[in-house]
Amino acid sequence: MPTKILLSTLLLLSLIGWQTETPKRPKLLGVAHMAVAVSDIEKARTFYKDFLGFGEPYDLKNADGSLSLTFIKVNDQQYIELFPGYKPGEDRLRHISFYTDNAEQLRQYLKAKGVAVPDKANKVRIGNTSFNVKDPEGHTVEFTQYEPTGWTKREQGKFIGKQRISARIMHLGIIIGDVPAAMSFYRDTLGFSEFWRGNARNTDTVSWINMRLPDSPDYIELMLYSTLPAPDARTSQHHICLEVPDIEKALAQLEASPARKSYTRPLEIRTGVNQRRQLNIFDPDGTRLELMEPKTVDGKPAPASTSPLPIVKLPVVKKAS
């Protein structure tokens, strides 16, 4: 074969290989937010702002001037998004979100991995670049890149009150029925790594699997069910975990808050199966926020469960008569 033809063939083959190579996964830098629906935005503001001490840096309006959603700031990278208009019977969870250093590259990476993605990552109204996908369970998962001109960066260092109950979202909890599919998505595709699994008390199968982001100490908690709860019964399962250095001080702060009188549930410190002290609180619609210390009570890692996974109960399909 003449030298020129050989070189052209090698060049063509290298170009084909380059074009078909899977893009490198960019960094997943942490949990960005969980978005939840609320039925009464003013009651929700009282809970998140007055009771928990968080700031509200900005919101978005609909075309008619009504509120579309508002942002509750935990720190410069993490928020809780509140969507008004919750209706009974619905799932309060709207979506979960992680932030990355390159949203468009992540979109291309996921596409190459066979995940259904939009045509491109888009600039959203607050100036960041984002796109959404569905995980195998049907949860909407948003990936966002904080742009230098976006509102998130614009408000850096602002709306961070001294009385905020927590300075960090430690993890997000979501319900899972199909564990292998969830592992394929979160572990094999996104690069999350499992670091602990546990059983609820008086159960003989795994109840929770904790999966840490590849480039962050933040994690997600997969809440395992053989039969999934009804959409309007997922307030305790879908949850936000807020890190607190001292749970007793956090409790004292909540008890001393003027907004405590509007919170009618009891406040009780417990030690979880993971051997960390924690306190559950619930927003006015029942969405759970879990205050948790970062260390175990004895300073040692809680042993991981070796129990089997729950057996998924498939819906019964009636045969045609």
How many structural domains compose the chain? 1
On whether the CB atoms of residues 169 and 78 are closer than 8 A, the answer is yes
> What CATH number is given to the structural domain containing 215?
3.10.180.10
Q: Is residue 247 part of a domain?
A: yes
Q: Is residue 110 part of a domain?
A: yes
Q: Is residue 316 part of a domain?
A: no
Q: Is residue 308 part of a domain?
A: no
Q: Is residue 9 part of a domain?
A: no
Q: Rounded CA gap, 114 and 143, in Å?
A: 17
Lowest mean pLDDT, pick from 69-78, 86-95, 115-124, 240-249: 86-95
Is residue 37 predicted with pLDDT exceeding 50? yes
Using DSSP, state whether 106 is helix, strand or coil. helix
Q: Is residue 123 part of a domain?
A: yes
What DSSP string runs through 257-316?
Answer: SGGGGG--S---EEE-TTS-EEEEEE-TT--EEEEE-SS-TTSSPPPPP-PPPPPP-PPP
Q: Is residue 116 part of a domain?
A: yes
On whether the CB atoms of residues 298 and 276 are closer than 8 A, the answer is no
- Residue-wise pLDDT tens digits, 276-303: 999 999 999 999 999 999 999 999 999 9
Question: Largest Cα–Cα distance of the chain, in whole Å?
Answer: 88
What pLDDT is attached to residue 252? 98
Q: Which structural domain, as residue segments, surrounds residue 83?
A: 28-292
